[in-house]
């Protein structure tokens, strides 16, 4: 098992859910963290707690990764002691609405595409050249079971996750001959803020996907990320699909009757 001691890890979408859980687990294992998210107050709170618990170095950055100009400025102007990024966790992502194509809102499509696809591309393109130059690094892209099978009204969200799956496959081919690794982590049902964001704050609707079953939680996915990045250098976990025990596929979920 590779040590994360003093490794610099950049995590996007770090203010809640899988991102927050990954930050905590990596801090616990001795990593230095660059935490990126849009919500500055939550980032500062998480940073304060992790520094107190684990005495690790943390740099927080309020950033909307949908803007290439702003993202490039942040990455290109990192202080010298933070420039060497060993692990990039492209976790930021979201779903907006659950509508058929003919009834969808263009603004929802744009937000999903700009975050789930473009934001991931921007960070990867900005950080990867230095990893290749050092012949060392690991990129972890958070996909979804929806990147393997689509579902009714999941059209554009699912398409963005198919992109993550396909892009990560292509990335591995481009990196062949280097020691830079690339992994996609594709969870099933995970209870985070995902559904609250999808339904724009409607907490009743957001509860429904998890009713009658025990879903995954952010820390479960964080465990799989930790596993992938701590394998020996000659081992690359290309893809991990992780599901709750109560979920057999995108469409098959066992729910206890009330």
Catalytic residue numbers read 157
Q: How far is CA 201 from CA 39, 99, 193, 197, 205, in A?
A: 16, 16, 9, 6, 9
Query: What's the rounded Cα separation, in Å, for the pair 148 and 166?
Result: 10
87 burial level (CB within 10 Å; 0-12, 13-18, 19+): buried
Query: What's the rounded Cα separation, in Å, for the pair 243 and 126?
Result: 31
Neighbours of 182 (CB within 10 A): 26
Residue 105 has φ and ψ, to the nearest 5°, of: -100, 130
């Amino acid at each position: 098992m590779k040590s994360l001691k003093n490794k610099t890890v950049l995590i996007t979408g770090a203010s809640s859910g899988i991102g927050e859980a990954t930050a905590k687990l990596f801090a616990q294992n001795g990593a230095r963290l660059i935490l990126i998210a849009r919500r500055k107050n939550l980032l500062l709170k998480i940073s304060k707690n992790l520094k107190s618990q684990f005495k690790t170095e943390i740099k927080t950055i309020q950033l909307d990764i949908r803007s290439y100009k702003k993202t490039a400025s942040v990455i290109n102007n990192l202080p010298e002691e933070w420039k060497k990024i060993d692990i990039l966790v492209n976790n930021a992502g979201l779903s907006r609405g659950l509508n058929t194509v003919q009834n969808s809102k263009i603004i929802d499509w744009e937000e999903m595409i700009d975050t789930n696809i473009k934001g991931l591309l921007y960070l990867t393109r900005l950080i990867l050249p230095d990893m290749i130059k050092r012949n060392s690094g690991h990129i972890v892209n958070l996909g979804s079971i929806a990147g393997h099978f689509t579902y009714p009204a999941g059209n554009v969200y699912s398409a963005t996750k198919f992109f993550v799956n396909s892009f990560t496959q292509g990335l591995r081919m481009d990196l062949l001959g280097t020691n830079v690794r690339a992994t996609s982590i594709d969870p099933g049902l995970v209870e985070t803020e995902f559904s609250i964001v999808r339904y724009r704050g409607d907490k009743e609707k957001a509860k429904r996907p998890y009713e009658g079953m025990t879903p995954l939680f952010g820390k479960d996915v964080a465990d799989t990320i930790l596993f992938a990045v701590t394998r020996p250098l000659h081992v690359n976990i290309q893809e991990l699909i992780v599901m709750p025990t109560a979920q057999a596929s995108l469409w098959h979920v066992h729910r206890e009757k009330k």
